[in-house]
Structure 1
Amino acid sequence: MATTDEDAALQAIATLDTLSEGQEEAKAKIDAILCSDELFVDIHELFNPYNILYFRSLLLPRVEVSWSPRLTLCAGICELVRDPNNGNKYTKIRLKLSEPLLKFRPRRDVINTLLHEAIHAYFFITTSWRHSRGDDGTGHGAAFLLLADAINSHGGYEVTVFHSFHDEVDSYRTHVWQCDGVCRSQPPFFGLVKRAMNRVPGKGDSWWQKHAEECGGRFAKVAEPEMTKAQLEKLNGLERAGRQSNKIDAWVGKDRTLTSKAAEGDTTDGFLRSKKRSPSQGSESDARKKVRTAVCCPICEETVATDEINHHLDRSHPS
């Protein structure tokens, strides 16, 4: 009979009743690492002792542990790796921890996430890869909770099913689309789709068909992160010109507004309001022209005369 997740959980828990010599040494090493004053923890240094103490030494060498700079929606992931010679067979497992979400969190969150993903890896290995389905469809069924609770009780950890790093997740979801249909007035999302990557809402989303039937609205992008210098350099001439034109129009308009306020003496520090103009300073019209003439180049940030900006862009930043 094939081993179930519950069978595997009970086998691992049974080893905690009386620790073997190897488990005692592993526990001592873990305690030494966790008792240090280091703010950060080396997940590779911890993984092998945890493997011996809680997972019957079954995880290594089949499981690889690493940090991922791309995970922004979940704190960690347990990823199956197919055999390059047999696509229907899995030979390795990768445990990836989210660098963006965990790098500023307390180290206990890193440790709890590492143990969470290690439990998944343990079940994959002991149940011949059937754990991915599980009795709840997510892999967080009764057996997962049983083993997680045993580890928490034994070591004082807080391994949970879901993380609570909602603020961190939201800070990376900088690509935002807004629906123009009725759903924009309905909680909890109010027609907004926020993503960490620039992936337009569409048929690939599980909720797309339901949205089409119940709302039928169209999504338009309303926010995105500033482009990096490398991304700007990859733009073609037409794309770059469009971005430059939009920025110049906005900045020139802003300059005109500021110029108008300055000419009326409306400034935040009161300097222009209180200082009298001397005859040598010229007329109010001349002062207004001087304030109005300069804008900042959107590429190199050099100050350029307003009527020279197009020439500057063509000369200094050709497509």
Structure 2
Amino acid sequence: MNPVYFARRVGHAVLVVFIVSLIAFQLGEVIGDPVTAILGLDAPASAREALREQMGLDQPWPVRYLAFIGDALQGEFGMSYRAQRPVADIIVERIPATVELAISALILSLWIGIPLGVVAAIWRESCWASALMTGSVVGVSLPTFVVGIMLIFVFSVQLGMLPSFGRGQTVAIGAWQTGLLTASGLAALIMPAISLAISQVALVARLVRAEMLEVLRMDYIRFARARGIRDRVVHFRHALRNTLLPIITVSGIQIGYLIAFAVVVEQVFQWPGLGTMFLAALTESDIPVITAFLMLIACLFAGINLIVDMLYALADPRVRLAEG
């Protein structure tokens, strides 16, 4: 791989994380006074000054920022004001729930969206294709919290089939708490995953349709048909295979999107993941938790984008040659 291309992509990722770290640190400066959050408004001035000195808040801004970066590089984000526990421990506890929700939503969106996009491309003049594209617009337009509330009303309130909140029973696999191995955990996952996946299904379907239509116009597809190869083989072995590269790329980026924007779904279903943790931290001005969440999401997006860029360069040599 071209070292210049690799260096540029790594430099971009580091720059993104650096900018987000500045924003996260400055956000912690303006959200509220951490001394007041810990001691309250009625604390004596001497206690407030002692705590401020202990936390290093009496130091200049550059010194505090460098200390923040040094701790972040070691995975240390201080103590949560609300829980009085290390922020890193809280994040480690919450990550499994959010990751399982995001991965389930991604699998569901690909499982439904790819066949819908293929059908809409192959029979593009039919009423079914028009209905699918109209439904995809509706799916993109519907807010996730509206979908979640509708699912709760139908399947929990009216039918009583699925739990309306919580994660169900979980089991430990090492340090990872999973609900995928219990019946109640799987039942609790269904509605949140569907709510989070709805807009992604629409996105995948429209992307597959657009890419499929482009591939079906290629000369090698016409040549395959002229040779008498069956339509099923042409569509699924030749056309769909060459459509999957952008789908894989978008899917990688969507993992970061689903983890970052699962906040609303987690709040609707009271899912004990990073989203509910972040909203609770915002409500109580828990600055260490807020900054840790922002840094985690920034590193996640930067890392996924870097991996996607590398895979693109490996799959298409023209990309790295153009960069060189």
The TM-score range, normalised by the shorter chain, is under 0.3
Query: Relative contact order: is structure 1 or structure 2 higher (C-alpha 8 Å, sep ≥ 6)?
Result: 2
TM-score in terms of structure 2 length: 0.23
* Structure in which a larger fraction of residues adopt helix: 2
* Structure in which a larger fraction of residues adopt strand: 1
TM-score in terms of structure 1 length: 0.24
